[in-house]
Structure 1
Amino acid sequence: MQTLSPMALNSFLHRRFACKKFDPNTPLSKEVLEQILEAARLAPSSYNTQPWEFVVLQGAMKDKLLPYVYFNTELVKSCAVLVVVGYMHFSELNAAYLSRFYTKEYHERVSKGVEVLLKERLKNDQTLIEAYMKEQCYIAVGQMTLAATLMGVDSCIIGGFEAQKVQSVLNAYFNPPNIACLVALGKAAMPTTIKARKEKGSAIKYLL
């Protein structure tokens, strides 16, 4: 298995940034796009719940969301691809759904934990369950955007949009999931933003 050196990985980590302007004339190849989406699909999730769904918009379909992305209009207009990251409806997170991914042995091992999760931690409450599923989606989003960087593609995670209006657009084509965020992909038409982060000593603690 190929590995990256610490220096090479650090270079990629600094290369990934919230791109606010893309080159509208540079398309994203189907092969590269599919691999970026595959990175998101293969992301880990609590109890392997995989509550996500990725709706890929390009061209005219992407433009249908322009009225509902607030101050991100130019960003969405210029990106090659817009991925709508959704999470399934809370009632669908049940034993029948989870059994699709579990072997019998795995199901026997974790079924009690899932039951405790839903009944005790999440109180079988719609708001808590949806918040739990939404946080799982961000694991996939992080893996998606890092994979994009590794493949030479720039990205921006978008939280500024009208979720209900986005759902209403998609509703004309299928029953859309709840919307967690949008991810714009393409080739940057701006310099890489230098990261402003906490110092290591403030962000990382070692306990021996």
Structure 2
Amino acid sequence: MQAQTLTPETINSFLHRRFACKRFDPNAPLSKEVLEQILEAARLAPSSYNTQPWEFIVLQGAMKDKLLPYVYFNADLVKSCAALVVVGYMHSSELNPAYLSQFYSKEYQERVASGVQVLLKERLKNDQTLIEAYMKEQCYIAVGQMTLTATLMGVDSCIIGGFEAQKVQSVLNAYFNPPNLACWWL
């Protein structure tokens, strides 16, 4: 299969079209197929050691409205978006050989699992603050890929971080066991 290429002008036109939308048209449809493609782009995003330490939770309708008291100045944004994707990162204890085995062949698993352990122990010094920052960094790569894909598909988006994480986490905990929150993407 031959790779499709885009001209620099085409790429720049998409990059210049990308902006942080501050109010969505609440009547604008977002098809299930488009949302699934945007989520697939996030799933396929690169991550260190292919760890994919993220989880995406899609909230729509009344479920996203439950978060309104905890989103500071982003209430209009959350109300008007067709879908709110909560992006969370896994706890470092879950980044283990059993988890990693789902991404690798048997031959590659051992090398990667030991590499991840070295990363956690030596680079990140087993410091939970550094490990959480690392996990969030990985999530933002996926968010960037989602945002670019949305732009390519003609969908407006906005990345927000203005919310009371503990209160949002408690609302989400009432319905399922969410990961640690990294950010939201609309």
TM-score range, shorter chain: over 0.9
Q: Distance in 1 between matches of 2:126 and 2:98?
A: 16
Q: Distance in 1 between matches of 2:133 and 2:127?
A: 10
Identity %: 87
2:7 equivalent in structure 1 = 5
- Match 2:112 to one of 110, 113, 137: 110
Partner SS for 1:154 = coil
After TM superposition, list the pairs within 5 Å mapping 1:10-49 onto structure 2.
10-49=12-51
Q: Distance in 1 between matches of 2:148 and 2:170?
A: 30
Q: Distance in 1 between matches of 2:35 and 2:133?
A: 28
Kindly name which structure, 1 or 2, has the bigger radius of gyration based on alpha carbons. Answer: 1
2:127 equivalent in structure 1 = 125
Q: Distance in 1 between matches of 2:70 and 2:117?
A: 38
1:80 equivalent in structure 2 = 82
TM-score by length of 2: 0.95
Partner SS for 1:53 = strand
The size of the alignment, in residue pairs, is 184
CA contact under 8 A between 2:91 and 2:180: conserved in structure 1?
Answer: yes
1:191 equivalent in structure 2 = none
Q: Distance in 2 between matches of 1:58 and 1:80?
A: 7
User: What is the root-mean-square deviation of aligned Cα atoms in Å?
Assistant: 1.1
Q: Distance in 1 between matches of 2:65 and 2:23?
A: 16
Q: Residue 2 of structure 1: CA displacement?
A: 2.5
Q: Which runs of 5+ in 1 are unaligned?
A: 185-208
Q: Distance in 2 between matches of 1:96 and 1:48?
A: 14
Q: Distance in 2 between matches of 1:68 and 1:31?
A: 30
Q: Distance in 1 between matches of 2:167 and 2:80?
A: 20
TM-score by length of 1: 0.85
Q: Distance in 1 between matches of 2:66 and 2:178?
A: 15
